[in-house]
Amino acid sequence: MRILPVLLTVAVLTLAACGGSSTPAPTPTPAAAAPSAQQVVAATLNVVMHDIYFGDDNNNIANPPIWRVPAGAEVTINLENQGGLDHNWAIIKKDVELPIPFMPDQNADLILWEGGVLAAGGKDTEVFTAPDVLGEYIVICTVAGHYPAMQGRLVVE
Ligand SMILES: [Cu+2]
């Protein structure tokens, strides 16, 4: 990387040669400019809720369902409550210690994002922006008594 100092020297000399101008030197533009528009990655999650677990396996503690999303993606989540009870899908802030039981009123500050409580038989589609910080986030149902039985993992990659 010896080219950069040479280029800088040339730029400084060129600027000095102009003299007297108060206009700042224009930023050099690369020949092949990168697209200026921010790229938005989209992802879709389909979540089925039961009494009292997410997904297909009534054993979320030992085998939590895993939902993967790209960091910063615009995520469309389709929630379907096939149970007979209220359920929720809530991402918990990273590396937070979750109390057992989770109390929806007292522990609301631990929630990063939630779809909202969905009544029995209900369906809902929501959109959220995936976290920028990579890693694993615990997802729980916030309805009193449903965590830890009802939980999963959101993996941001
Ligand atoms: Cu629940």
Tell me the residues surrounding ligand 1 (ion) with CB < 5 Å: 87, 141, 143, 146, 150
Residues near 86 by beta carbon (within 8 Å), at least 6 away in sequence:
117, 118, 119, 120, 143
Domain edges within the chain: 42-156
How remote is the CA of residue 46 from the centroid of ligand 1, in Å? Answer: 16
Q: Which residues pair with 125 in a beta bridge?
A: 78
pLDDT of residue 107: 96
pTM: 0.75
How remote is the CA of residue 57 from the centroid of ligand 1, in Å? Answer: 14
pLDDT above 70 coverage of the chain, percent: 76
How remote is the CA of residue 60 from the centroid of ligand 1, in Å? Answer: 12
Average pLDDT value over all residues in the chain: 84
Question: 121: phi > 0 → left, psi -120 to 50 → alpha, else beta; which?
Answer: left
How remote is the CA of residue 25 from the centroid of ligand 1, in Å? Answer: 60
CB 152 within 8 A of CB 58: no
CATH class for the region spanning 42-156: mainly beta
- List strands edge to edge, sheet with 66-69: 66-69, 151-156, 135-140, 90-92, 111-114
60-115: pLDDT as tens digits: 999 999 999 999 999 999 999 999 999 999 999 999 999 999 999 999 999 999 99
At residue 40 the predicted structure's pLDDT band, cuts being 50, 70 and 90, is confident
